[in-house]
Amino acid sequence: MITKRFFLVGFALLIAGALNAQSFKANVEKSELKWTGKKVTGQHVGHIKLTDGMLTIKDNKITSGTFNIDMKSITDDDLADAGYNQKLVGHLKSDDFFGVEKFPVATLTLISVGLIPRSSASKNNIFLLCE
């Protein structure tokens, strides 16, 4: 069964494009996507790679965006033991979580944009709500 998952993605997206353009392509080499997975006994953190992405801006506001994520690239950054690290990454790639064999790319479509609570717009503290 495929279910929709909602993601609150908070990251600074470095964009390549001219200032007067309305569509901006993501700079995948300079973009960084971090993830956090929480459980009752703690949490894990890691990275995952952006394949490509696009933002549309109208009247100085982000109006739409789509981002493709390489699910095969998921890594864990906090487990130093190689065996436990591989076990967790394998579990995340399995059908219990992301089903990477069947779904190697995740597409996030922008549905809302706003400021991170208690933050300043001048510090690029925006969040993108995607589904």
pLDDT digits (tens, 9 = 90+) for 78-120: 999 999 999 999 999 999 999 999 999 999 888 877 666 665 5
Residue 2 has pLDDT above 80, yes or no: no
Domains and CATH numbers, the chain: 7-130 (2.40.128.110)
Residue 51 has pLDDT above 50, yes or no: yes
Higher pLDDT, 61 or 67: 67
27 neighbors 3 (Cβ within 8 angstroms): no
> What pLDDT is recorded for position 61?
76
Higher pLDDT, 62 or 25: 25
Whose structure tokens read 């801006």? 57
What tokens appear for 84 in the block? 């436990």
110: which residues sit within 8 A by CB, 6+ positions away?
Answer: 55, 62, 64, 65, 66, 67, 128, 129, 130
Residue 123: strand, helix, or coil: helix
